[in-house]
A and B are shown apart, each in its own frame.
Chain A
Amino acid sequence: MAEALIETEGLTRRFGALAAVNGVSLAFEKGRVHAVIGPNGAGKSTFLNLLSGELRATSGRVLLGGEDVTRASPDRLSRLGVGRAYQTANLFPDLSCGDCVWLAAQSRLPSSMLFFRPADRYPQVGVRAARALEACGLSQRRSAIAGQLSYGEQRQLEIAMVLATEPSLLLLDEPLAGLGHDEALRIVALMREVAKGRTVILVEHDMDAVFSISDSVTVLVDGRVLVTGAPEEIRRSAAVRDAYLGGEVV
C-alpha cells in the first residue's frame, strides 16, 4: 500500500447543530485518483473546503505528509502543494487568460514582494504559465478576457490556474458540472493527463467520469463515510445504490 499523502482523522465540521462533515477518517494514497461521491447534501464540498483550508474544522485533524495542517490557512496549504479548482468560476474576470495563469504561476516565486523589475522579465514564471495553458488547450486563448470565456473554457482555465501552481495534491470540485457531453469528454481527458504523477481528490456527480479515471472511490452520506473501495466494488454495492435515493444511476 502506497503511503498516504493526505489523511484526515475524525474530521468534523458543524454549522450550529448540523454536522456537515462528521468524524471522517480517510487516507488518500499518493499518486492515485480518489473520488468522493455521495447524494446531495452529503458534505462533499464541505469536506473539500476543510482540506483546502477555507473552512476551519470543528474537531479532528488533517495531516499532509504527516504534518498537522488542520489550522493552516489556504495560502499556506497552497504553498505546501495543495491546489484547489473550484466548482463555480473562480477566476479573475477582468484579466486575460494569460494574466490569470501568470498570477497562478507567479505564486511559486519565493516571494512576490518584487518592486522594480517588470513582471515579464521573470521568464521562469512565463514558462510555467505557458506550460499550464498548453496542457489545458488554451494557448490560443491567451489574450481572451476570462470573464468572457465560454463555460467549458472557464473550466479549462480553472484547471490551468491550478496546474500553474505545480501542486502535488489536486482538489477538483465538480469539474464537469454543467458541461455538455463533448466538453466533458475533453475535461476528463485533461484530468487523466493531469493526474499523472499527482494525487487527485475528485468530487463529482458524473459517474461515468468517476469510474473511468478513479483508482478508489469513497461514498459520503450525511457527512459520514459509508464505504471506500475500488470503483468496481462501489458500483456493485447495494448499500451505495440505496444511499442514492432516486439520484444518479450507478
Chain B
Amino acid sequence: MSLSLFLVQLVNGVEYGLLLFLVASGLTLVFGVLGVLNFAHGSFYMLGAYLAWWLSARTGSLLLGVLIGVPAMVLIGLVVERLAIARLYSRDHLSQVLLTYGLVLLFNELQSVLWGNDVHGVNTPAALSWTMRLGETQTWPAWRAFTSFACICIAIAMRQVVLKTRFGMRVRAGASNAEMVEALGIDVRRLFSTLFAAGTALAGLAGMLAAPLTTVYPGMGENVLILSFVVVVIGGIGSIKGAFFGALLVGLADTFGKVLLPGFASAMVYAVMAAILLWRPRGLLGAAAEGR
C-alpha cells in the first residue's frame, strides 16, 4: 500500500471512528449509569439523519436543520426515557433487549410512514462544500473535516463536563454505583432523564453530520448500532475514554478492512473484537475483574 493511500485510509478511519464515538458514547453512558441496554440507540442516529434531510429540504439549510434537529432529538430522548426506558431500570436483560427491540421496529415503521422508503441525498451547506488539497493527489472534503472537528470538540467538551462539573461527578458516581447516588439524595430521575436525552441527541447529531456523506435510507441505524455495541464491548461499559479509543480502533479496522480484505471487510471488525475479548474479557478499559 502506498503511503498516500495509507494516509487517506487513516484519515477515513479516524473520521468514521469519531462519528462512531458520538453514537457509542451515548450508548455506553446509558448502559453504565442507567443500566439499560438500549437497542433503539441506532434508531436515534437514523432519526437524526432523517430530520436533517427533511428540515434541510424544507428550509434549504442543513445548518438550520441541525440547529432545530438537535433540540428535537433532546425532546424525543426525554419522551422515550419517561415512557419506556424508565420502566426498564430494574428489569432483567431479556426485558430490556426485547422492549428496545420493539422500539426499533416502531421507529422503523414511523420512519416509513412519515418519510417513505426512498433513499435521499442531503447537500452539504454551501459554506462547506469545497475540498482541501492534501499532498499532490489527495483531497479532503471540507464537510468531512468539519465533521471530524466537531466530533473532537464534542469529545473534549464531554471530558470537561464529566471531569470538571458537578453533573459530571454525578454521572461518574452513577456509573460506578447508581444505588449509592440515589441514597445520597441526588435526584436520580433527573440525572437519568438528562443523560438519556444527551445520549439521544449525540446519536442524532451523528446522524445529521453523517447524512450528507452516507445519504439517508431506511435501516441506516442498524449497522451503526451494532458497531457501537462493538465499541462499547471493546472500550468497556460506562467508559467514555474507552468509547473514544474503541471507536477509533473500530473505525480504523473497518476502513482498513475494506481496503485490505474487500470480501471480509465487515467481518474484520468482529474479528478484532473477538481478539480483544480473548485478551481482556472486560474490554480494554472496562472495570478490571475483581478477583475472578
Measured between alpha carbons, how far is A56 from B290 in the docked complex, in Å?
A: 8
When distances are taken between beta carbons in the complex, the residues of chain B under 8 Å from A54 are: 291-292
> What 1/0 mask marks residues of chain A from 48 to 76 whose CB sits below 8 Å from any chain B CB?
01000111100000000000000001100
Measured between alpha carbons, how far is A55 from B292 in the docked complex, in Å?
A: 7
Interface size class of A (residues with CB under 8 A): under 10
| B243-292 residues at the A interface, CB under 8 angstroms | 290-292
> Shortest CB–CB separation between residue B166 and chain A, in angstroms?
24
When distances are taken between beta carbons in the complex, the residues of chain B under 8 Å from A53 are: 291-292
Measured between alpha carbons, how far is A74 from B291 in the docked complex, in Å?
A: 10
B290 contact from A55, A73, A74, Cβ within 8 A? A55
> Shortest CB–CB separation between residue B87 and chain A, in angstroms?
22
Measured between alpha carbons, how far is A74 from B292 in the docked complex, in Å?
A: 9
A54's nearest neighbour on chain B, judged by CB, is: B291
When distances are taken between beta carbons in the complex, the residues of chain A under 8 Å from B292 are: 53-54, 56, 73-74
A75's nearest neighbour on chain B, judged by CB, is: B292
Measured between alpha carbons, how far is A54 from B292 in the docked complex, in Å?
A: 7
B interface SS class: loop
Measured between alpha carbons, how far is A49 from B292 in the docked complex, in Å?
A: 11
A52's nearest neighbour on chain B, judged by CB, is: B291
Measured between alpha carbons, how far is A74 from B290 in the docked complex, in Å?
A: 13
> Shortest CB–CB separation between residue A77 and chain B, in angstroms?
11
B290's nearest neighbour on chain A, judged by CB, is: A55
Measured between alpha carbons, how far is A250 from B291 in the docked complex, in Å?
A: 34
> Shortest CB–CB separation between residue A18 and chain B, in angstroms?
14
Measured between alpha carbons, how far is A167 from B99 in the docked complex, in Å?
A: 45
When distances are taken between beta carbons in the complex, the residues of chain A under 8 Å from B290 are: 55
When distances are taken between beta carbons in the complex, the residues of chain A under 8 Å from B291 are: 49, 53-56
> Shortest CB–CB separation between residue A202 and chain B, in angstroms?
22
Measured between alpha carbons, how far is A56 from B288 in the docked complex, in Å?
A: 12
Measured between alpha carbons, how far is A55 from B291 in the docked complex, in Å?
A: 4
When distances are taken between beta carbons in the complex, the residues of chain B under 8 Å from A55 are: 290-291
> Shortest CB–CB separation between residue A26 and chain B, in angstroms?
20
> Shortest CB–CB separation between residue B208 and chain A, in angstroms?
42
When distances are taken between beta carbons in the complex, the residues of chain B under 8 Å from A56 are: 291-292
Measured between alpha carbons, how far is A189 from B292 in the docked complex, in Å?
A: 35
> Shortest CB–CB separation between residue A173 and chain B, in angstroms?
16
Chain A residues proximal to chain B, CB less than 8 Å: 49, 53-56, 73-74
Chain B residues proximal to chain A, CB less than 8 Å: 290-292
The 8 closest A-B pairs by CB, nearest first: A55-B291, A56-B291, A54-B291, A73-B292, A54-B292, A55-B290, A74-B292, A56-B292
Known: A55-B291, A74-B292. 9 other contacts (CB 8 A): A49-B291, A53-B291, A53-B292, A54-B291, A54-B292, A55-B290, A56-B291, A56-B292, A73-B292
Q: Could you list 8 A-B pairs, sorted by A, with CB under 8 Å?
A: A49-B291, A53-B291, A53-B292, A55-B290, A55-B291, A56-B291, A56-B292, A73-B292
